[in-house]
Structure 1
Amino acid sequence: MRAAWLLLPALAALSAYYVYLPLPGAVSDPWKLMLLDATFRAVQQTCHLIHSLRLSHHLTVLNYLICTFDKLKSVSSEDIKITDAVFDGVEVRVFEPPSKGDEDLKRSVVYIHGGGWALASARTSLYNNLCRIMAESLNAVVVSVELVPEVWFPEQYHDALRATKHFLQPDVLAEYSVDPSRIAISGDSAGGNLAAAVCQQLSKDEDLPVRPKLQALIYPVLQAFDFNTPSYQQNMNMPVLPRYVMISYWIDYINGDYDLARELLINNHTTLNVGPALSFRTRLNWTSLLPPSFKKNYKPVVQTTGSAAIVEQLPALLDVRAAPLLADDATLARQPRAYVLICENDVLRDDGAMYAARLERAGVPVTLDRFHDCFHGCMIFTMWPTDFSAGVQTRNSYIKWLDENL
């Protein structure tokens, strides 16, 4: 009994040490965020242990756990019709609000979910309920694109593009009673990456009969050129998406070697002696693209010499389809009106801010929505036990912009 009394305080101390993480004072619901992050870390570490034992790939295990423990939770939108369909070989989930007699055609949102190009699903409760709320609030048809987690770039990109182009066909829009002039392409995190890349490609397709009116990007990941932007430096250890995890997602997406993580971390793939990277350097010069409130006192990390072999081995690092922020000005000038939501406590904050700045310089109307107390991924965390005020705040702002502009 005495040993138990000694063991319990020790376990409590160890648990507190594992959970506690210093956070900026302005972060929304800090203790809840610490608990969420501790859960993420514990699950990820377990999956990596299984991976190291060569029992299964860590992402396969993680996705299995997500699907196993996910319980579909309903929201008060009982009239929304939900159907699963296949658009040009790609699975989608369609959310349709009820018809109201002889009303006009509905507006629509094509939504691409996040998850590091490898996790979650359009069918999980977080994205299912987000799309239901969007369909109900906007009285819009929402098409949620399913991504196959077991494939690498460019397959995810091609799937998102094919599903979107299929939906934009006049006969398909007519089937769902959608107004061809009121369609938005949207996505969060890795889904925001795909949404931006899809919009860029659609703008180059001269034969496309219908084009999106808007693009709405939620804390998008847009480049793998510089992992030392001010937001990457400031938030390198922030919950949900620390810098090393984002680098791991990139390596998984482009089917790279984890041994390269250290090289990417210090920007050895885009050093001054790496020829292919030079032509893109001005397009990601955050010293000129970011305002002082973003740059603070952080300094650029530009190595003089590095390893050109990294880019040769992983050309997708500099592929515009994988990194839309690398696009040229002419491509950006053809983009639709944009909304970019960014969070202060997020390594990807500057990706979104730089993209908004480049779009604006190219003449595209842009709304940059910056949240000082929010963190990466917060918009989908609106339901117990992962209900955050930051989630409701960002979701409401996002839907409000769509409602006013779509």
Structure 2
Amino acid sequence: FRRLVNLHITLLLYRIYIYLTPLPEHTNELFRGVLGDNTWVLSSLCSNLMHYLGLSHHLLALNFIIGSFGKKSAWSSAQVNVTDTDFDGVEVRVFEGPAKPGEPLKRSVVYIHGGGWALASAKIRYYDELCTAMAEELNAVIVSIEYRLVPKVYFPEQIHDVVRATKYFLQPEVLQKYSVDPGRIGVSGDSAGGNLAAALGQQFSQDANLKNKLKVQALIYPVLQALDFNTPSYQQNVNTPILPRYVMVKYWVDYFKGNYDFVPAMIVNNHTSLDVEEAAPLRARLNWMSLLPESITKNYEPVVQATGNTRIVQEIPQLLDARAAPLIADQEVLQHLPKTYILTCEHDVLRDDGIMYAKRLERAGVEVTLDHFEDGFHGCMIFTSWPTNFSVGIRTRNSYIKWLDQNL
């Protein structure tokens, strides 16, 4: 009982801390709005309490709470036809936009939702509304993939799901069924969905048996590496609401079914210290002093430990797998990728992942558009309707859809 009381006190203090944490100047209104009734924080606290009491895994509990606030059944309007089906055993929600006059075949986007590989759904309100808007404004078919989540499955099963569903969709008879132009198909995703979209793009670019190639990829504040948790954006936004550094590191550990005891060591880069031989060949690909402009690096210093915990990478070798961390892929892989759009936000620990990937792609000869929002925060693009209809959410969504309209 005493331990339970101590836990409640700790959670209460954490909630007070969240309210009192100084917020970035340009995002005060945004974050105060999101935290107005502290829904996200309270949901996290409740799920952690349920985990502590042995009632449910904290991610299952949190996802249940998220779903209860906004699951939408498939519905159709005059402009967009929405159906739930499965592609080779993987659940998908398909949004069929109106045909464009004079164009019998539609373009298409395979969309992969975010949520740390563990949360959210293609069927919650935020993603349903995003994909509906994309289908209507682009006169397109949007395939939103309902991939399996942690803790039911772990890496690389999420990648297998999105690859399997997309390969099924790319079959000529399936494209014909949905009246999709095989030469105008893109892949996109936000956050962990951006990670999966990038991994899918790299895999498809190397698949000689794939007849229909992707025309574009569009990555929204993607998470792309787990080697360095002290890039300038991780240092700058270490305690920023929505996605503080500690939470992002825990998502990585969850994705790999790792040990939470490793989290403090990973936060200070002990898992990629100089004595970790497995990480040595990859450090050059993640040298942010050469990949980021001075306006980003400022006075931040790299955190490179001489000695660390060699056990971490030995027990979680997935940390160094390019399928999990597309930013560290070989240059030969990158040069075959399609035209790319990357959206980044200033107040986001993942900002530099996206900027570094854009630079590596440019060096590989890929045409890249880097769309940076100074007042953006992680997750903002799906906050476009009341009560979370924030200006930066609407602007990021409009900019993203405009790029797709012009390039797909």
TM-score tier (shorter):
over 0.9
> Which segment is superposed worse, 189-198 or 100-109?
100-109
> Which segment is superposed worse, 207-216 or 145-154?
145-154
Counterparts of 2:288 and 2:48, CA distance in 1: 34
Counterparts of 2:156 and 2:325, CA distance in 1: 11
Residue identity in the other structure for 2:238 = M
Residue identity in the other structure for 1:139 = N
Q: Which residue matches 2:268?
A: 266
1:364 pairs with 2:366 = yes
CA positional deviation for 1:99? 3.8
Secondary structure of the corresponding residue to residue 279 of structure 1: helix
Counterparts of 2:407 and 2:338, CA distance in 1: 12
1:103 pairs with 2:103 = yes
CA positional deviation for 1:134? 0.2
CA positional deviation for 1:30? 3.8
Counterparts of 1:28 and 1:340, CA distance in 2: 24
Counterparts of 2:196 and 2:18, CA distance in 1: 34
Alignment map for 1:242-321 (pairs within 5 Å): 242-321=244-323
Residue identity in the other structure for 2:332 = A
Counterparts of 1:238 and 1:210, CA distance in 2: 41
> Which segment is superposed worse, 184-193 or 69-78?
69-78
CA positional deviation for 1:20? 3.5
Aligned pair in 2 of structure 1 residues 349, 101: CA closer, same or farther (>3 Å)? closer
Q: 2:357 aligns with which of 347, 355, 358?
A: 355
TM-score, normalization: structure 1? 0.93
Counterparts of 2:164 and 2:129, CA distance in 1: 24
Q: Which residue matches 1:67?
A: 67
Report Cα offsets for 1:63-122 as digits up to 9, x if no partner: 111112225499996420001111111111100013467633110000000011010100
CA positional deviation for 1:34? 5.4
Q: Which residue matches 1:189?
A: 191
1:329 pairs with 2:337 = no
CA positional deviation for 1:310? 0.6
Aligned pair in 2 of structure 1 residues 125, 346: CA closer, same or farther (>3 Å)? same
Residue identity in the other structure for 1:137 = E
CA positional deviation for 1:279? 0.5
Counterparts of 2:261 and 2:41, CA distance in 1: 21
Asked if structure 2 preserves the Cα contact closer than 8 Å seen for 1:80 and 1:96, the reply is yes
Asked if structure 1 preserves the Cα contact closer than 8 Å seen for 2:224 and 2:354, the reply is yes
Secondary structure of the corresponding residue to residue 109 of structure 1: strand
Aligned pair in 2 of structure 1 residues 100, 265: CA closer, same or farther (>3 Å)? closer
Residue identity in the other structure for 1:211 = K
CA positional deviation for 1:383? 1.2
Counterparts of 2:302 and 2:339, CA distance in 1: 30
CA positional deviation for 1:21? 2.7
* Alignment RMSD: 2.0
Q: Which residue matches 1:9?
A: none
Report Cα offsets for 1:203-232 as digits up to 9, x if no partner: 110010100000000000000000000000
Residue identity in the other structure for 2:66 = I
Q: 1:387 aligns with which of 382, 386, 389?
A: 389
Residue identity in the other structure for 2:233 = S
Q: 2:399 aligns with which of 374, 397, 400?
A: 397
Secondary structure of the corresponding residue to residue 182 of structure 1: strand
Q: Which residue matches 1:11?
A: none
Counterparts of 2:321 and 2:106, CA distance in 1: 35
Residue identity in the other structure for 2:47 = C
Secondary structure of the corresponding residue to residue 84 of structure 2: strand
CA positional deviation for 1:202? 0.3
Q: Which residue matches 2:345?
A: 343
Q: Which residue matches 1:86?
A: 86
Counterparts of 1:142 and 1:303, CA distance in 2: 45
Secondary structure of the corresponding residue to residue 92 of structure 1: strand
Q: 2:214 aligns with which of 212, 215, 219?
A: 212
Asked if structure 2 preserves the Cα contact closer than 8 Å seen for 1:21 and 1:34, the reply is no
Counterparts of 2:217 and 2:101, CA distance in 1: 29
Residue identity in the other structure for 1:97 = G
Secondary structure of the corresponding residue to residue 382 of structure 1: coil
> Which segment is superposed worse, 202-211 or 102-111?
102-111
Unaligned runs of 5+ in 2: 1-13
Q: Which residue matches 1:148?
A: 148
Aligned pair in 2 of structure 1 residues 28, 140: CA closer, same or farther (>3 Å)? farther
Report Cα offsets for 1:369-403 as digits up to 9, x if no partner: 00000100000011111221111010000000000
Asked if structure 1 preserves the Cα contact closer than 8 Å seen for 2:221 and 2:350, the reply is yes
Asked if structure 1 preserves the Cα contact closer than 8 Å seen for 2:216 and 2:338, the reply is yes
Asked if structure 2 preserves the Cα contact closer than 8 Å seen for 1:73 and 1:129, the reply is no
Residue identity in the other structure for 1:105 = L
TM-score, normalization: structure 2? 0.93
1:226 pairs with 2:228 = yes
Secondary structure of the corresponding residue to residue 372 of structure 1: strand
Residue identity in the other structure for 2:401 = I
Report Cα offsets for 1:167-201 as digits up to 9, x if no partner: 11112111111111111100000000000000000
Counterparts of 2:250 and 2:50, CA distance in 1: 17
Report Cα offsets for 1:300-353 as digits up to 9, x if no partner: 000001122111100110011111011010000010000000000000000000
Asked if structure 2 preserves the Cα contact closer than 8 Å seen for 1:77 and 1:136, the reply is no
Q: Which residue matches 2:119?
A: 119
Residue identity in the other structure for 2:310 = A
